[in-house]
Amino acid sequence: MRGIHNIWRLIRTGATLERTGAMNFVLDAFEAPKAVRMVAKAMAIPFKPLGYKGDPNLQPATRALTALGPAYIKFGQILSTRPDVVGDEMAQQLRVLQDQLPPFDVQTAKDEVERELGKSVCDIFSEFSEPVAAASIAQVHKARLHSTGEEVAVKVLRPGIERAFQKDVDAFYLAARMVELFSPGSRRLRPMDVIEHFDGVVQGELDLRLESSAASEFAANTKDDAGFELPEIKWDYSARRVMTLGWADGVSMGDNDAIDALGVDRVELSERILALFLQHALRDGYFHGDMHQGNLKVASNGNIIALDFGIMGHIDEYTRRVYAEILYGFIRKDYKRVAEVHFEAGYVPADKDVDEFARAIRAVGEPIFGMDADHISIARLLAYLFEVTERFGMETRTELILLQRTMVVVEGVARSLNPQINIWQVAAPIVTDYITKSIGPKAMMSDLTKTARVLSRFGPRLPALVEAALIRQSDVLPPSPKPFKRYIALAAVLGAGAATGVIALLGALG
């Protein structure tokens, strides 16, 4: 039955795309080949009357996705982070998706709170408002704790949202398989990986305990960051489908008039938001992955308040160093080094010419640096860089997609506050400081310490490992009446083990 449901859901999806006028736009955005277009049209045109009409005031793609429901809205938001997949024009349309849906009634929310927390709403809260915000997965209520009188925000998942999402995600997987089948050229963009990424993001957002944990980790990392704060998670009043956190008073980051009324310097604010993001990404490897104006507030004291921790980005230490070296190379106009880093990281196939790639990188960097300061854009640089790496056979780097997309969004926020911001001037000291700390002598000692710590864990097991190696060696050696030869064999085994350890240590240091 699931297969029949998936096919029917895809037919209904195609019919809605056709009815809203989004079909051709979507096919063009994905550069769909003739075979895919024929299949899509065949599944859509006969069933067009069954498609949802949607809001005619919206752009075609957003009109179709909002008509199809919460899973499609969320998928559209995720796709807005993938201009490499859907193209810049469609990504731009999807970024303005209004993440607003009709709220469910307050009594249903209260019932959900009581089921999850095991207490009456009246026992926990002295006040519990109507919904103040309703999104694709959950809605938020303003409340007041009975015990302390503190104002809090209570986030509650939509009823039945888990099952609804799972049904649609199954259909998305089927669609991705069909795209790969009918369009082999699309495999470079990894459509199945895109759906898996979406599935993982959604699963994280459907368990509010995970979002609470993400917020807690983010708060621990950033507790000493001046001018930045997060609402406190109320663990006693949070569960899988309910999340309670301190109420954040402030004005929207997108309201310049309100920010000016607070007396906050927007020039300094624009530089701070960009610097904070780079610090979180490079220093911690853990950053807010959805830093648009709707998730940012400005407090009366000028502090930046971040909200909504459903999408968080993580990059390992090695990838951070690669990313920082690429940015550092551009800052110094060392295009050969930028090219070498791509090859060293395996981002570009080894059979390509590094000098030719460096010249292509120069063609990306020089026009950017030739612009006026207020037009220099990391977002534009990343877009051009992707075009070049695509030409040289670089596959989609899923671990960098969210980082790059968030960089674009944060840059947009910074420019909305201060159109004359010099992005490179803000980024240079942060990237340089990170490079100094992560690649210099101190970093080498830190790497050595970590390597020694890992090796030390095997200390208690070394006798058994050596004994096992000796036994294996004795099994393959011919028996010898002379003990001296046995000792030579044992020494050879021990020497080989020591050499292996040294090689592993040197590899870790290198």
DSSP output for 69-126: -HHHHHHHHHHTT-HHHH-HHHHHHHHT-----PPPPHHHHHHHHHHHHSS-HHHHEE
Q: What angle do CA 71, 73, 75 make, to 5 degrees?
A: 70
Position 46: which residue type? Answer: P
Left (φ > 0), alpha (ψ -120 to 50) or beta: where does 149 sit?
Answer: left
Closest CA to 3 of 171, 177, 168: 171
The answer to whether residues 29 and 89 touch, using CB atoms and an 8 Å cutoff, is: yes
The residues carrying an active-site annotation are 290
CA atoms within 13 A on the CB side of 427: 27
Q: How many whole angstroms separate alpha carbon 374 and alpha carbon 422?
A: 6
What is the SS3 assignment for 239?
Answer: coil
What is the SS3 assignment for 30?
Answer: coil
DSSP class of 214: H
Q: How many whole angstroms separate alpha carbon 325 and alpha carbon 434?
A: 9
Residue in the block written with tokens 């292996």: 500
Residue in the block written with tokens 């979406």: 198
Residue in the block written with tokens 């993440």: 99
DSSP output for 280-325: IIIIISEEES--SGGGEEE-TTS-EEE---SSEEE--HHHHHHHHH
Instruction: Kindly give, in sequence order, each residue whose CB lies less than 8 Å from that of residue 367, ignoring residues fewer than 6 positions away.
Output: none
CA atoms 462, 468, 469, 471: torsion sign = positive
